[in-house]
Structure 1
Amino acid sequence: MDLNFLNTLQTIFDSSEQEFYEVSNDQKIAIENSRIEIENGNFHKNEDVILEMRQWLKNK
């Protein structure tokens, strides 16, 4: 997923007057850690994961 798109969504959510939901401190830490992982390129594209899963299932 495009990082600019995610940043835009975050900006929209941050500027909204309405609270969507509350997150715990542990959830906030997990979200921040996930953002760092994405920035460092430590993720797999959805299409790649699905392809790998289908290949794995085909071999079973």
Structure 2
Amino acid sequence: MNDSTVTLPWLVIRQDDNGNRYRVGRYATRAEAQKVVDSLGARGHKQLYWVERIGSNATG
């Protein structure tokens, strides 16, 4: 499988204290993305992390 055939529709998004949003990574499954969110959230930082699907209207 080459890069042009891989679909990674799930994003992990991070929002900092100032409201700035950053894409942390792209993943093939929601479960994989949620595992990353859970891992990052467990570190005790005050950042907000969540999963979005590409094409959703959540980020505008």
TM-score, normalising length: structure 1: 0.32
Higher relative CO (Cα under 8 Å, sequence separation at least 6) belongs to 1
Higher helix share: 1
TM-score, normalising length: structure 2: 0.32
Higher strand share: 2
- The structure having more radius of gyration, on CA atoms, is 1
